[in-house]
Amino acid sequence: MAGSAERIVRFTEARSGLDIRCRLLDAQSPANAALLWDLAGLDIAHNAIHAMWTGPEISVPIAGDVVLPGCDVGAVPQENATSYPQAGDIALVCAPNGTWRDGPPFDLIDIGLFYAPGGRLLMPMGWIMGSVCARILDEDMAAAVEGCKTIRRNGACELRLSRVA
């Protein structure tokens, strides 16, 4: 996307007061950033929860085949991939139905919002990698930490993803 304006998405959650903006990493993770942009274009809320296994993460598991029926989750490549997301990273994990035994019964697109150091993608089925496709804006990091800690205390929530610019 050379020469184009940066793209920003917003995550909001009413009960915790979470309201953060994230810059898409189009150069480092073009396919995954495009997928996150497509999801943000729906401007809908998704079920979310503080992760159990991965540390300081809000996990947003989405049934990709339902929410984006034309999306081939299995064709989304790993880009800018890591097993150790940093504070401020937004990482996508895409896994078609049947990728893991006892996994979700749908094509998974999991958005991970990592808000503090110590993130790791060690799951019950082993280590996985996520594609870091966006970063929380520096000026929104303090709000991300507070909002995500509140979500951790409150439990499951509905996280809205929308486009800003």
pLDDT tens, residue by residue, 122-137: 988 889 999 999 999 9
| Contact present, 33 and 25 (Cβ < 8 Å) | yes
Structure token digits, residue 132 = 């870091």
pLDDT tens, residue by residue, 148-160: 999 999 999 999 9
CA–chain centroid gap for 140, Å, is 16
Provide the pLDDT for residue 95.
Answer: 95
Buried b (16+ CB within 10 A) or exposed e, 41-54: eeeebbebbbbeeb
Provide the pLDDT for residue 4.
Answer: 62
Question: CB within 8 A of 3, min separation 6: which ones?
Answer: none
pLDDT tens, residue by residue, 20-38: 999 999 999 999 999 999 9
At residue 1, does pLDDT exceed 50? Answer: no
User: Which amino acid belongs to residue 11?
Assistant: F
Residue spans of beta strands (DSSP E) within 52-129: 57-63, 81-82, 89-95, 108-114, 122-123, 126-127
Provide the pLDDT for residue 127.
Answer: 93
| Contact present, 26 and 133 (Cβ < 8 Å) | no
At residue 50, does pLDDT exceed 90? Answer: yes
* pLDDT-above-90 percentage for the chain: 90
pLDDT tens, residue by residue, 87-117: 999 999 999 999 998 888 999 999 999 999 9
Domains defined for the chain, CATH in brackets: 8-163 (2.40.100.20)
